[in-house]
């Protein structure tokens, strides 16, 4: 084991033996190298005559650049567009994102959490978490309505094992199912909570989040170690008053020495910049001897995982996101887009529960995000999807045998009613065919 990794392990274990126990073998071996990076950082401060340390090409005071690239980038300085960003991200962006998190998540003000670390969006953050904490065979616990990519990230790439529990009761989130799944599980669980949810578009109530917290706390008190990861990809897109407006992260952080939390959020969906690939990974500290030492050591391990994977996240994307966050207009602009999505969600609510559709589907609870899901009756969801696509040119997503996901985020409001009408007609057609055969 590299001595730098040993030193980080020592720091983590001395502050929180449970956080140390949650690390995977790979997580224990990770460290952030001093070599070239720290020598470059030292030279940046002290090399007044010649600085020949950086793995970039320079000319004059700036990076070497091609006009055919730079001519397309306006309002961002060449260095902020083209140079490598630090492994943990641009310091100013990290500071501004942290302020945003605090402003939008009141419960985070009461907990000790690290500086957000920039990732190449949330998918990358999810896989970094796996790198640090999952050994083959480790258990990830999720509600059974889940984003399919978790299987690739954790099962296929890392050999971990996804376990699910029932997501909804008649009235909302199934807290009892979560409690039971935690209580009956192994010593170590990574609990992955994604709200607003993909595929259902559900955001829990505050009471449901407090129920989740109690369930995690009970498991920890019974001796289990729980890594709670919140995937907040659709943060902020919450359309109904009964749903909690903030991430569950703050309410689940700092609750017990055996519970470590990680928040994954990002500009991808919050600022409508999917392809810029800019996200953040933030640790919430368990009660620890010195939380700063613990958070700093965990941050260094993530930086090592970034360095050994993508090296660093795109500078231009980070500069664009920072510029947007610092603009006076960004709040109003986000609100305008939010209102468009909210009207679409409300239109869906107005249409989808109509009595005449009850022979065709049930509706999973939804109040947030991009999506909603129906459970279709008397037809196979994949047959329905193919029929809709080939016969009527309508593209939806089928999940399993019964569920159809509708992304109302990319439907104009006027298209909502005709869409559900054609889905209903097609279900009737397929039901009739089934009855004849
Ligand atoms: C639940 C969930 N998490 C994460 C992501 C990926 O987000 P990003 O584009 O930031 O990697 C998605 C995107 O579809 C998602 O639905």
d(CA 9, ligand 1 centre) in Å: 31
Tell me the two tokens of residue 229.
Answer: 């990861």
Any atom of ligand 1 within 6 Å of the Cβ of 194: yes
Residue 112 has φ and ψ, to the nearest 5°, of: -95, 115
Tell me how far apart the alpha carbons of residues 372 and 360 are, in angstroms, rounded to a whole number.
Answer: 16
Pairing of strands 259-266, 225-231: parallel
Rounded CA-CA distance 51/29 in Å is: 32
The count of domains in the chain is 2
Residue 201 Cβ inside 6 Å of ligand 1? The answer reads no
Series of mean pLDDT values for 10-residue runs along the chain (437 residues): 97 97 98 82 81 87 95 96 96 98 97 96 98 98 95 97 95 96 97 97 97 98 98 97 97 97 98 98 92 96 97 97 98 98 98 97 96 97 97 96 96 97 97 88
The answer to whether residues 8 and 123 belong to one domain is yes
Tell me if 123 CB under 6 Å of ligand 1: yes
Q: Are residues 358 and 233 in the same domain?
A: no
DSSP secondary structure of 355-422: GGGTTTEEE----BSSEEEEEESSS-HHHHHHHHHHHH----EEETTTEEEEEGGGS-HHHHHHHHHH
Tell me which residue has tokens 């407006």: 245
- 251 and 367 within one domain: no
Ligand 1 pocket test target in 116, 121, 122 with most atoms within 8 Å of CB? 122
Q: Would you state the pLDDT for residue 269?
A: 97
**Looking at residue 358, which CATH number applies to its domain?**
3.90.1150.10
Domain check: are 223 and 276 in the same one?
yes
DSSP assignment letter at 108: G
Whether residue 357 is found in the same domain as residue 400: yes
Nearest CA to ligand 1 atom 1: 198
Q: Are residues 193 and 313 in the same domain?
A: yes
Which pLDDT score is estimated for 43?
Answer: 80
- Rounded Cα distance, 303 and 23, in Å: 15
Count CB-CB contacts under 10 A for residue 171.
9
In angstroms, how far is the first alpha carbon of the chain from the final one? Answer: 66
What's the pLDDT score for residue 70? 96
272 lines ligand 1 (CB under 6 A): no
Shared domain check, 361 and 234: no
C-alpha of residue 268 to centroid of ligand 1, in Å:
8
In this structure, the answer to whether residues 188 and 252 fall within a common structural domain is yes
pLDDT at position 437 = 79
Q: Is residue 60 situated within a structural domain?
A: no
* Among candidate residues 300, 326, 352, the one where a domain is terminated: 326
State whether the beta carbon of 174 lies less than 6 angstroms from ligand 1.
Answer: no
Residue 37 lies in a domain: no
Whole-Å CA distances, 409 to 246, 266, 321, 349, 406 = 20, 18, 21, 14, 9
Q: How far is the CA of 110 from the centre of ligand 1 (A)?
A: 27
| One domain for residues 217 and 255 | yes
335 and 322 inside one domain: no
Centre a 10 Å sphere on the Cβ of residue 434 and count the other Cβ atoms it contains: 12
| CATH code for the domain in which residue 209 is found | 3.40.640.10
Distance 122 CA to ligand 1 centre (A): 6
pLDDT at 54: 80
Q: Take atom 2 of ligand 1 and give the residue whose Cα is closest.
A: 233
Distances (CA, A) of 1 to 13, 158, 176, 304: 16, 21, 42, 14
Q: Looking at residue 348, what is its pLDDT?
A: 98
Residues 321, 414 share a domain: no
Same-domain status, 251 and 347: no
CA distances in angstroms from 207 to 173, 174, 338, listed in the order given: 10, 12, 25
CB atoms within 10 A of CB 37: 17
Number of Cβ within a 10 Å radius of residue 50: 7
**Cα 407 to middle of ligand 1, angstroms:** 14
Nearest-CA residue for ligand 1 atom 12 is 233
Domain stop point among 326, 352, 384: 326
Query: What local confidence, expressed as pLDDT, does residue 306 receive?
Result: 97
Is residue 274 in contact with ligand 1, taking CB distance under 6 Å? yes
Q: Is residue 345 part of a domain?
A: yes
Range of the domain at 162: 3-32+87-326
Q: Say if 50 falls within a structural domain.
A: no
């Amino acid at each position: 084991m590299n001595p730098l990794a040993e030193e980080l392990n020592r720091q983590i274990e001395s502050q929180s033996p449970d956080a140390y126990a949650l690390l995977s073998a790979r997580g224990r071996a990770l460290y952030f190298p001093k070599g070239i990076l720290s020598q470059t950082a030292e030279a940046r401060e002290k090399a007044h005559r010649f600085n020949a340390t950086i793995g970039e090409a320079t000319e004059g005071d700036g990076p070497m650049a091609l006009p055919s690239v730079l001519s397309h980038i306006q309002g961002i300085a060449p260095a902020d567009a083209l140079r490598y960003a630090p492994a943990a991200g641009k310091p100013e962006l990290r500071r501004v994102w942290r302020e945003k998190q605090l402003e939008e998540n009141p419960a985070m003000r009461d907990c000790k959490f690290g500086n957000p670390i920039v990732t190449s969006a949330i998918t990358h953050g999810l896989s970094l978490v796996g790198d640090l904490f999952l050994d083959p065979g480790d258990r990830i616990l999720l509600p059974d309505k889940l984003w399919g990519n978790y299987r690739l990230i954790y099962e296929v790439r890392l050999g971990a094992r996804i376990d699910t529990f029932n997501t909804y009761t008649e009235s909302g989130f199934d807290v009892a199912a979560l409690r039971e799944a935690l209580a009956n599980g192994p010593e170590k669980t990574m609990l992955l909570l994604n709200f607003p949810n993909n595929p259902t578009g559900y955001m829990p109530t505050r009471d449901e989040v407090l129920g989740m917290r109690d369930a995690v706390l009970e498991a920890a008190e019974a001796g289990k170690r729980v890594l709670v990861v919140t995937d907040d990809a659709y943060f902020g897109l919450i359309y109904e008053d009964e749903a909690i407006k903030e991430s569950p992260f703050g309410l689940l952080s700092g609750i017990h020495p055996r519970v470590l939390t990680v928040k994954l959020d990002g500009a991808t969906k919050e600022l409508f910049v999917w392809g810029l690939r800019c996200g953040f990974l933030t640790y919430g500290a368990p009660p620890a001897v010195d939380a700063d030492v613990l958070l700093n050591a965990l941050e260094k391990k993530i930086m090592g995982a970034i360095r050994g994977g993508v090296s660093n996240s795109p500078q231009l994307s980070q500069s664009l996101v920072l510029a947007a966050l610092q603009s006076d207009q960004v709040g109003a602009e986000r609100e305008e887009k939010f209102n468009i999505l909210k009207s679409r969600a409300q239109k869906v609510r107005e249409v989808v529960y109509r009595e005449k559709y009850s022979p065709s589907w049930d509706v999973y609870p939804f109040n947030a995000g991009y999506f909603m899901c129906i459970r279709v009756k008397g037809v196979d969801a994949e047959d329905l999807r193919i029929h809709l696509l080939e016969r009527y040119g309508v593209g939806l997503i089928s999940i399993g045998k019964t569920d159809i996901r509708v992304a109302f985020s990319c439907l104009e409001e006027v298209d909502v009613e005709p869409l559900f009408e054609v889905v209903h007609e097609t279900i009737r057609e397929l039901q009739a065919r089934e009855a004849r055969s």
